[in-house]
Amino acid sequence: MSSPTSDSHGHAGSTKLFAWVWLWLVIITGAEVYLAYKHLPPVTMLLLLIGMSVVKAGLIMSYFMHLRFEKASLVWTLIPATIFCIGMLTMIFPDGVRLRDSHTAPQGQVQPK
């Protein structure tokens, strides 16, 4: 990849760099669609797809949204807090697993707590 360049207004990046990022985004999207053809277990599939989506989100934020060229203080203010809040939202899932097990288990084996 080409090294980033800055103009007099502090905007960084070059056409070649943006084209490379776009190409990688399309390639990863292609890999995701390819995975959809495979009969993988749902959890494996979900982890692979989310992993690739996080990489794509990182590329978009870093280069298209310019975070790679901003001050680190902005990144440290925005990103960890957002990840923490999303992490807190996942606290509903243990209850989801409990409900799923109570639906799928034979009658009388698993009692909802």
Partner 1 sequence: MSDSHADVLRESPWTGGGSPYSIGSKKLGMWLFIVSDTLTFAALLLTYSYCRLTNPNWPKPFPIFNAIVFTTIMTVVLLGSSLTMVMGVAAAHRGNRASTVKWMLATMLGGAIFCGLHATEWMHLIHDGLTPFSNKYGGSPLFGATFFGITGLHMTHVAIGVIYLGIVATGFGRGKFSAEDVEVSGLYWHFVDLVWMFVFPMIYLMSVKY
Please give the residue ranges that form the binding site for partner 1 (CB under 8 A): 7, 9, 11, 13, 15, 18-19, 22, 25-26, 29, 32-33, 35-37, 39, 42, 45-46, 49-50, 52-53, 56-57, 60-61, 63-66, 70-71, 73-74, 77-78, 81-82, 85-86, 89-90, 92-93, 96-97, 99-100, 103-104
Between 1 and 50, whose beta carbon lies closer to partner 1? Answer: 50
Q: What sign for the dihedral angle of Cα 106, 107, 108, 111?
A: positive
Cβ at position 62, least distance to partner 1 in Å: 11
Give residues with Cβ within 8 angstroms of 7, minimum separation 6: none
Q: Where are the alpha helices (DSSP H) in the chain?
A: 15-37, 42-59, 72-89, 93-104
Q: How far is the CB of 89 from partner 1 (least distance, A)?
A: 5
**Nearest Cα to Cα of residue 60 among 21, 88, 90:** 21
